[in-house]
Amino acid sequence: MRPTIGVLALQGDVREHFHALSACDAEPVSVRRAAELDSVDGLVLPGGESTAISKLLEIFELLEPLRARLRAGMPAFGSCAGMILLASEVLDTRPDAQSLSGIDMTVRRNAFGRQVHSFETDLDFAGLDDPLRAVFIRAPWVERVGPDVEVLARVPHTPRPGTVVDADPSAGDPQEAAGRVVAVRQGRVIATSFHPEVTGDLRVHRMFVDSVRESVAAGA
């Protein structure tokens, strides 16, 4: 079964998620309107600028319909900015920014620092046999999870071989974030601080697509 999965196409790295979903035998479609949201089996919220996407959700009258679909059990996957949008509480953001409360968690926006603080490392990820390469770009991290939230990955305490930190001399040390939660799941909603759509490793997307298929089969 080839599920129809929307990609919120208001801002951010939409194309990369389209490619990953297609490679996982899903049918990706753009979502910019409530009618388009109504037609999908699940939704990806891409990386980008979370406050801009939040404002655009209001402008395009998608905020409340999306909250309603999440409350009704629609599977969703958010990467980076998408994680911020799915949180129930966001720290270090604008007071007028909106969130979707798709996962019971507190997220700190831009927790790893500015663009020059971007880095790559390998993560142990629950449900995957081998480590996952993770790319962090102005990424958030999770400071609190609710009792029904499963932690899928944390920043390693010891740098993995091949960890790459931006060469800018002002770049931060990823070890300052050692142990921080960077991937979570609650029900059929998954969120990652990092960008699995840019590495060519499809395992997180496959996990999400499988969850969407299960939801469709269950009639959710």
197 is annotated as an active-site residue = yes
Q: Is 137 annotated as a binding residue?
A: yes
* Of 135, 125, 101, nearest in space to 184 by CA: 125
* Of 211, 167, 168, 156, nearest in space to 42 by CA: 211
Q: Is 109 annotated as a binding residue?
A: yes
Point out the catalytic residue in the list 117, 120, 197, 205. 197
Point out the catalytic residue in the list 16, 17, 24, 80. 80
In the block, which residue shows the tokens 């953001």? 93
Cβ atoms 219, 160 nearer than 8 A: no
Q: Measured between alpha carbons, how far is 168 from 181 in angstroms, rounded to an integer?
A: 25
Q: Measured between alpha carbons, how far is 155 from 39 in angstroms, rounded to an integer?
A: 36
Q: Is 138 annotated as a binding residue?
A: yes
195 is annotated as an active-site residue = yes
Q: Is 213 annotated as a binding residue?
A: no
Q: Is 49 annotated as a binding residue?
A: yes
Cβ atoms 120, 136 nearer than 8 A: yes
Q: Is 48 annotated as a binding residue?
A: yes
Instruction: Please report, in range form, the residues annotated as the binding site.
Output: 48-50, 109, 137-138
Active site residues: 80, 195, 197
Instruction: Please report, in range form, the residues annotated as the binding site for L-glutamine.
Output: 48-50, 109, 137-138
